[in-house]
C-alpha cells in the first residue's frame, strides 16, 4: 500500500482481496502509535477488547494514526458485538471494526447492521470525528468503512461458510489463540492440535475465498504473517506492541550481559 492511502482506498483494497499487512496495538500510547503508523504498515489495529486502554485511549491512538507521514489507517477490535461499542469506534474515526466471537450468520448480520446506517442497518448517526475523514454522508461511510467478523469459536468454525456468505460482510479474521483452544488445545499455543488447527485455517480461508470476501489472521511475527499470506490469506496482522517491547528489551539485555563477560 502506498503512503497516505485513504480509508476509501484501503477498504476497496480489502474488499478486492488485495494483500494487506497490519500491526496490533494493546498499549495506550499515542506516541508509539504515531511512530508505528510511519513504518509502512497498511493498518494499525487497536484492541479495545483486551487492550490496555478505554475510549479516550482508542480515540487518541486513532488521532495519532492519522498524523502526517502515516501509511496506515486505524482499525479497532471492539469489546463485543454490540451496537454501542461498534458505533463509538466508528464515530471516533476507525476505518473498520473487527468484531469478536462471531458464532453464526445471525451474529455476523448483527455486526454488519451495527456498521451501516438505516435503511441498511442500525447505526445511529453521530459521526463526531469520522465525518472529517469518512463520510459524513451515509453512502460515503458505507463505501469507506469495513466490518470484519472474527472466527475463533467452535461454533464460528462450524458455521464459517454461512458467516462468510452474510450480505455486507467485508471479511473474516482468525483469532488463532481462541481458535486453538476451541478445537481442543490445552493452551493457546498447544502443538498437539497443530494438524487440526491447520485444517481449520484451510476451511476458513476457502470459505472466505468462495464468498469473495477478505480473509485475515493474527500472527505472532512477520515470518508467520508471510507464511499465511503465501497460503492464501489476504491480510495479516503482526502482533503486538506490548509483546515486542518485552522481546526486544530482553534481547538487548542478553546481548549486553553477554558482551560484558
Q: Interior CA angle at 141 toward 136 and 146, to 5°? A: 150
- Phi, psi values for residue 99, rounded to 5°: -105, 120
Backbone angles phi, psi at 201, to 5 degrees: -65, -40
Helix (H) or strand (E) run with residue 217 in it: strand 214-219
Q: Which residues of 150-161 are buried (b: 16+ CB within 10 A; e: fewer)?
A: bbbbeebbebbe
Of 52, 4, 6, 46, nearest in space to 22 by CA:
46
Determine the Cα–Cα distance for residues 238 and 228; give it in Å rounded to an integer: 11
Specify the DSSP element, H or E, that contains 249: helix 241-260
Cell numbers that stand for 134 in this block: 469518512
Q: What cell numbers appear for 30 in the block?
A: 499515542
- Residue 50 annotated among the catalytic residues of the structure: yes
Which one of 50, 142, 218, 252 is the catalytic residue? 50
CA atoms of 85 and 77, how far apart (whole Å): 10
Q: Residue 40 CB: number of other CB atoms within 10 A?
A: 12
List residues with catalytic annotation.
Answer: 50
Amino acid at each position: 500500500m502506498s503512503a497516505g492511502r485513504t480509508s476509501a482506498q484501503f477498504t476497496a483494497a480489502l474488499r478486492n482481496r488485495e494483500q494487506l499487512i497490519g500491526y496490533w496495538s494493546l498499549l495506550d500510547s499515542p506516541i508509539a502509535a504515531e511512530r508505528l503508523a510511519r513504518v509502512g504498515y497498511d493498518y494499525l489495529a487497536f484492541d479495545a477488547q483486551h487492550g490496555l486502554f478505554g475510549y479516550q485511549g482508542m480515540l487518541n491512538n486513532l488521532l495519532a494514526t492519522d498524523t502526517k507521514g502515516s501509511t496506515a489507517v486505524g482499525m479497532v477490535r471492539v469489546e463485543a458485538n454490540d451496537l454501542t461499542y461498534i458505533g463509538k469506534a466508528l464515530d471516533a474515526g476507525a476505518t473498520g471494526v473487527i468484531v469478536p466471537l462471531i458464532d453464526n450468520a445471525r451474529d455476523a448480520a448483527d455486526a454488519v447492521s451495527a456498521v451501516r446506517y438505516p435503511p441498511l442497518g442500525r447505526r445511529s448517526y453521530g459521526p463526531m470525528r469520522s465525518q472529517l475523514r469518512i463520510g459524513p454522508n451515509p453512502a460515503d461511510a458505507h463505501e469507506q468503512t469495513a466490518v470484519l467478523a472474527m472466527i475463533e469459536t467452535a461454533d464460528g468454525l462450524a458455521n464459517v461458510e454461512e458467516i462468510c456468505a452474510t450480505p455486507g460482510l467485508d471479511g473474516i479474521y482468525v483469532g488463532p489463540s481462541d481458535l486453538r483452544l476451541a478445537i481442543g488445545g490445552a493452551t493457546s499455543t498447544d502443538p498437539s492440535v497443530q494438524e487440526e488447527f491447520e485444517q481449520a485455517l484451510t476451511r476458513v480461508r476457502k470459505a472466505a475465498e468462495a464468498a469473495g470476501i477478505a480473509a485475515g489472521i493474527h500472527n505472532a511475527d512477520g515470518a508467520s504473517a508471510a507464511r499465511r499470506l503465501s497460503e492464501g490469506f489476504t491480510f495479516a496482522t503482526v502482533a503486538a506492541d506490548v509483546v515486542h517491547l518485552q522481546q526486544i528489551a530482553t534481547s538487548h539485555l542478553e546481548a549486553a550481559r553477554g558482551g560484558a563477560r
